[in-house]
């Protein structure tokens, strides 16, 4: 029976909306206005002026009165060329990697089925698994360096028989990668799908894309967000045509709008610009890590992503985060998100001037 204090308009919501949905908390994302925004793993670089001008001129030819190509045919062809996607591997596009994770969940859901992931990792794996009604199993990474605990992972896969196993490499929020040998062992042990999220592929030395033809149960998920195109919300899933065809059956038509298709294809024609920006981030990542490492009582973890995870003195994460915000710098406070992340903060690598400002503020805050 509803409480006497509940508004009658809310009674129907309480009665009809799933209880687990009512309890969910939406992640807060800072707007970035008036601050140095280093919390969201975005590229700090805008397009060069000449590129923006050409893009705006050519965009006038996009017919907004017509529906977009439902298969994004030209864009998929360009993705194949630019990223040298292996012959015989199929592509599926999504509104960011989030939509693709959701579609995988909807396609694989079933009574008693489970999803497994090594944790801490990308929160959408657990969130979306819960949305679609599947049980989520988190397997802790090694505490010292966030590497895969292979005996524990293999034992968990044998025990739970997950229908989908997610691995983010480089992992978010830790920044480290998993080896092809480790992922290969998990693929061979799995009776279901293994989805490797390579959203930070542009900053990493390893990729499972070359192994797609070897493992039938491997899917590789990527996003253009980290490479300077976060505003487009464009992700792509690669794998065996047999898997992609079935998963694609649940994709809503026209999920990639005409402006996104045009803009992504245009940007891929100039992808050397974005690769140069990524190379700058990789160089600056070394500088930022070295300067954080110099601070007393701070531990820096190796990263092959466009961000760096570091741990401050015990119990100091909230205070450091608050001090940085007062100085106009926004990073990600992870201290309360997992026991393994206690006292940890994550900073996105910014432009050189932003990195200098961050190090200066951090030095006076720890």
Helix axes 317-326, 352-363, angle to 10 degrees: 120
Percent of the chain whose pLDDT exceeds 70: 96
**What letters, b where the CB count within 10 A reaches 16 and e where it falls short, cover 288-312?**
bbebbeebeebebbebbbbbbbbbb
pLDDT score for 177: 97
Mean pLDDT (whole number) for 268-290: 96
Q: How confident is the model at residue 257 (pLDDT cuts 50, 70, 90)?
A: very high
pLDDT score for 27: 62
Give the Cα separation of 40 and 287 in Å (integer).
20
Choose between 158 and 23: higher pLDDT: 158
Give the Cα separation of 203 and 355 in Å (integer).
17
Mean pLDDT (whole number) for 40-50: 95
Give the Cα separation of 68 and 249 in Å (integer).
18
pLDDT score for 2: 46
Q: Which domains does the chain have, with CATH numbers?
A: 25-48+272-363 (3.90.1150.10), 67-269 (3.40.640.10)
**DSSP-H helix ranges across the chain:** 8-16, 19-22, 49-59, 73-83, 96-108, 123-131, 150-160, 180-189, 241-248, 258-268, 271-293, 317-326, 352-363
Find out whether 75 and 93 touch, Cβ atoms under 8 Å.
yes
Q: How confident is the model at residue 1 (pLDDT cuts 50, 70, 90)?
A: very low
> In this structure, what token pair is assigned to residue 299?
């531990």
294-337 per-position pLDDT tens digit = 999 999 999 999 999 999 999 999 999 999 999 999 999 999 99
pLDDT score for 9: 75
Q: Is 8 a residue whose pLDDT tops 90? A: no
Find out whether 223 and 97 touch, Cβ atoms under 8 Å.
yes
185-204 per-position pLDDT tens digit = 999 999 999 999 999 999 99
Give the Cα separation of 134 and 126 in Å (integer).
9
Q: Is 15 a residue whose pLDDT tops 60? A: yes
Q: Largest Cα–Cα distance of the chain, in whole Å?
A: 64
315-325 per-position pLDDT tens digit = 999 999 999 99
Q: Is 3 a residue whose pLDDT tops 80? A: no
Task: Supply the mean pLDDT for the chain.
Answer: 94
Mean pLDDT (whole number) for 25-39: 74
pLDDT score for 115: 98
Mean pLDDT (whole number) for 137-152: 97
- The helix (run of H) or strand (run of E) holding residue 37 is strand 36-37
pLDDT score for 18: 81
């Amino acid at each position: 029976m509803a409480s006497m204090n509940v508004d009658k308009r809310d009674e129907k919501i309480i009665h009809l909306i799933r209880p687990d949905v009512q309890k969910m908390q939406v992640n807060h994302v800072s707007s970035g206005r008036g601050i140095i925004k280093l919390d969201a793993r975005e590229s700090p670089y805008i397009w060069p002026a000449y590129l923006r001008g050409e893009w705006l001129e050519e965009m006038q030819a996009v017919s907004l009165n017509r529906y977009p190509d439902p298969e994004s045919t030209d864009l998929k062809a360009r993705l194949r060329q630019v990223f040298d996607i292996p012959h015989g591997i199929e592509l599926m596009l999504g509104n960011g990697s989030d939509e693709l994770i959701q579609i995988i969940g909807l396609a694989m859901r079933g009574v008693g089925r489970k999803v497994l992931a090594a944790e801490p990792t990308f929160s959408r794996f657990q969130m979306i698994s819960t949305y679609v009604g599947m049980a989520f199993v988190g397997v802790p990474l090694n505490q010292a360096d966030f590497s895969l605990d292979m005996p524990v992972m293999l034992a968990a896969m044998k025990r739970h028989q997950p229908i989908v196993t997610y691995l983010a490499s480089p992992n978010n929020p830790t920044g480290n990668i998993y080896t092809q040998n480790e992922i290969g062992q998990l693929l061979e042990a799995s009776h279901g799908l293994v989805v490797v999220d390579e959203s930070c592929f542009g900053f990493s030395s390893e990729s499972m894309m070359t192994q797609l033809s070897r493992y039938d149960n491997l899917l590789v998920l990527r996003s253009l967000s980290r490479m300077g195109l976060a505003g487009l919300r464009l992700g792509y899933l690669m794998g065996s045509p047999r898997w992609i065809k079935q998963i694609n059956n649940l994709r809503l038509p026209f999920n990639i709008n005409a402006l996104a298709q045009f803009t992504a294809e245009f940007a891929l024609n100039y992808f050397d610009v974005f690769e140069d920006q990524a190379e700058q981030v990789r160089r600056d990542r070394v500088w930022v890590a070295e300067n954080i490492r110099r601070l007393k009582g701070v531990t820096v973890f190796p990263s092959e992503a466009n961000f760096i995870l570091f741990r401050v003195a015990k119990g100091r994460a909230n205070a450091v985060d608050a001090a940085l915000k007062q100085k106009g710098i926004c990073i990600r406070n992870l201290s309360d998100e997992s026991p393994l992340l206690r006292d940890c903060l994550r900073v996105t690598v910014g432009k050189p001037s932003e990195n200098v400002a961050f190090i200066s503020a951090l030095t006076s805050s720890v």
